[in-house]
Amino acid sequence: MKKTAVVCLVIILTLTLFLGLVYAAPEYEGEVNSNAVMLLDATTGEVLFEKNAAEQIYPASTTKILTCIVALENANLDDMVTVGPDGDWSGSGYSLMGIKNGQQLSLRELIYGMMLISGNDAAAAIAVHVGGSLEGFAEMMNQKAQELGMTGSHFITPHGVDTEGHYVTARDMATLSLYAMKNERFMEIVGSASYDFPSMDFSTEKQKHNTNKLLISDVPDGETSYYYEYATGIKTGATPQAYRCVVSSAEKDGMKLLCLIFGDETQDGTERWLLAKSLFEYGFSNYETMDVQALIDSVPVSVNVAGAVDDNDEGGVLALNAVNTGVDFVTMDKAVAEALTEGGLSAQVTLISGEELKAPVKAGDPVGTAVYTNTQNGETVAQAQLTASRDVKGETEPIATPVEEERAPSPESGGSSWIWLTLGGAFLLLVIIFTVGLIRAKNARMRRRNYARRKSASRSASHSASRTGRRQ
């Protein structure tokens, strides 16, 4: 019965879980001219702002986010790569790292050259090394996109040069970026403001800066700084058909945000930097990522246990452990989050046993559920399964007595059990002998009766024959 109740409880919790709950905050009121834009909480994946998120667009060099992830997951950064003809883009006019046919350098250098300098030549060299060919790597890219659920995108090149049939949606790129952000090595690379390239013979210094201006704090005199102190990555892009793009990330006070901007048509792509900073500030100022278990733990739950022994700890009051049964994190309006953490959260307890909990109770036993609500508006914030934090003995709880291990009697013991076993065997033997005697006596009586009958019948026959002879 108890197991059935627990199963029903789990089913109810599963059916009533909330998913990705966002509490309303003021809408973003800034001007957005770029074609496709998104702002998301990178921890929960919740969308805080979007424009044309499902429209198919050219991704330009933000394609390299996928190229980087596929390479990191299928190759070793210490691999030595010999650049082939596909990696030599000399004189092409595109954004290049500057590698040459036949040159040898590590995959690590190529990836930094692709993600920081945005080298199309580096992307091509990486693709051939990892996928065997540009076509083979494209298959790997599309397979990964399919695994991630990027249903509105298709990839042909590893670098993102405008190509018919090579397209994405901002929503798909958000899915990809959220996935990539979980890779620590990826974030280490894309968060670097600069990198030293030991194998390269640049005309100036060996150190090259990231094309993501949100990461660059030391700009030359006379240039405009777009530095954003909370920026952590990720990748820029620019082609004639994609215009200017940036997929950027930022973190402040434990909250991580992702901003995607595609189709910035301003000269030099200045809007993408200003818009990204504005959207980040909007997100950090109005929202907060809340740890649901921490919220639950801020509201202690306890119940009185009926029938507890008089000397029970805490007078029979049992504190309950609450285990979150929903999502791990939620995105909340900052004002709501502050109110909840300052006592604005209440718990409604439902016990499996009904109106009261009765002793005895064992530590860890599931005893019920709790629904946590916002006291201001009654909205459900979280749900939890409740378990007993300790044992509670009952007044009528039987006292367990030790049970001695049964041992087979042995002749050497000389104990009373051996005597009783002997007497029992003798008694059984007497019963058998007595029974056999009765059966034999009965059989003897039957034989005597049958003999008497046969003798009587013989006499009768002789007498009858004698009388017949006298008559003749």
* Residue 93: CATH number of its domain: 3.40.710.10
Question: Cα 168–171–174 angle (5° rounding)?
Answer: 100
Show pLDDT as tens, one digit a residue, over the chain (472 residues).
Answer: 444 444 344 333 433 333 345 556 889 999 999 999 999 999 999 999 999 999 999 999 999 999 999 999 999 999 999 999 999 998 778 999 999 999 999 999 999 999 999 999 999 999 999 999 999 999 999 999 999 999 999 999 999 999 999 999 999 999 999 999 999 999 999 999 999 999 898 866 677 999 999 999 999 888 899 999 999 999 999 999 999 999 999 999 999 999 999 999 998 899 999 999 999 999 999 999 999 999 999 999 999 999 888 777 787 899 999 999 999 999 999 999 999 989 999 999 999 988 889 999 999 999 999 999 999 899 999 999 999 999 999 876 554 444 544 444 444 444 445 455 556 666 666 666 766 666 676 666 666 666 556 555 555 555 544 444 444 3
Q: At what angle do helices 120-131 and 64-74 cross, to 10 degrees?
A: 40
Examine the domain organization and report whether 245 and 307 are in the same domain.
no
The domain spanning residue 361 has which CATH number? 2.60.410.10
Q: Which residues pair with 40 in a beta bridge?
A: 47, 258
Amino acid occupying residue 199: S
Q: Which of 388, 408, 427 is the last residue of a domain?
A: 388
Question: Which is catalytic among the residues 34, 51, 61, 248?
Answer: 61
Query: What pLDDT score does 24 carry?
Result: 66
**Structural domain for 314, as ranges:** 2-15+292-388
Query: What pLDDT score does 419 carry?
Result: 56
How far CA 397 is from CA of 4, 87, 357, 392, 394, in Å, comes to: 23, 79, 15, 10, 5
Instruction: Quote the tokens at residue 222.
Output: 């006379």
Question: Which is catalytic among the residues 95, 118, 153, 177?
Answer: 118
Task: Tell me the C-alpha distance between 270 and 244, whole Å.
Answer: 9
Examine the domain organization and report whether 41 and 92 are in the same domain.
yes
Examine the domain organization and report whether 198 and 254 are in the same domain.
yes
Q: Are strands 357-358 and 301-306 parallel, antiparallel or unpaired?
A: parallel
Q: Which residues contact 287 (CB under 8 A, 6 or more apart)?
A: 25, 41, 48, 255, 331, 332, 333, 334
In a domain, 403, yes or no: no
Examine the domain organization and report whether 11 and 41 are in the same domain.
no
> Domain total for the chain?
2
Amino acid occupying residue 86: D
Q: Are 190 and 61 in contact (CB under 8 A)?
A: no
Task: Tell me the C-alpha distance between 7 and 385, whole Å.
Answer: 12
Q: Are 41 and 255 in contact (CB under 8 A)?
A: yes
In a domain, 363, yes or no: yes
Instruction: Quote the tokens at residue 471.
Output: 């008559």
Examine the domain organization and report whether 148 and 210 are in the same domain.
yes
Examine the domain organization and report whether 260 and 326 are in the same domain.
no
pLDDT tens per residue, range 217-237: 999 888 899 999 999 999 999
Q: Are 208 and 197 in contact (CB under 8 A)?
A: yes
In a domain, 40, yes or no: yes
Q: Which residues pair with 258 in a beta bridge?
A: 40, 249
Examine the domain organization and report whether 245 and 306 are in the same domain.
no
Q: Phi, psi (5° rounding) for residue 237?
A: -165, 150
DSSP output for 9-55? HHHHHHHT---S-B---PPP-S---SSEEEEEETTT--EEEEESTTS
In a domain, 285, yes or no: no
Q: Is residue 334 flagged as an active site residue? A: no
Q: Which of 265, 283, 306 is the last residue of a domain?
A: 265
In a domain, 469, yes or no: no
Examine the domain organization and report whether 229 and 356 are in the same domain.
no
Q: Is the dihedral of CA 104, 107, 113, 118 positive or negative?
A: positive
Q: Are 370 and 386 in contact (CB under 8 A)?
A: yes
Instruction: Quote the tokens at residue 235.
Output: 């990748």
Does an H or E element contain 331, and which? Answer: strand 329-333
Task: Tell me the C-alpha distance between 24 and 331, whole Å.
Answer: 10
Examine the domain organization and report whether 10 and 47 are in the same domain.
no
Q: Which of helix, strand or coil describes residue 460?
A: helix
Q: Which of 388, 407, 442 is the last residue of a domain?
A: 388
Examine the domain organization and report whether 86 and 181 are in the same domain.
yes
Question: Cα 327–332–333 angle (5° rounding)?
Answer: 175
Examine the domain organization and report whether 336 and 193 are in the same domain.
no
Examine the domain organization and report whether 128 and 170 are in the same domain.
yes
Question: Which is catalytic among the residues 64, 144, 213, 235?
Answer: 64
Q: Are 365 and 387 in contact (CB under 8 A)?
A: yes
In a domain, 197, yes or no: yes
**What global pTM score does this model have?**
0.78
In a domain, 393, yes or no: no
In a domain, 349, yes or no: yes
Q: Is residue 118 flagged as an active site residue? A: yes
Q: Is residue 64 flagged as an active site residue? A: yes
Q: Which of helix, strand or coil describes residue 76?
A: coil
Does an H or E element contain 209, and which? Answer: strand 207-209
Task: Tell me the C-alpha distance between 157 and 135, whole Å.
Answer: 8
Q: Is the dihedral of CA 89, 91, 93, 98 positive or negative?
A: positive
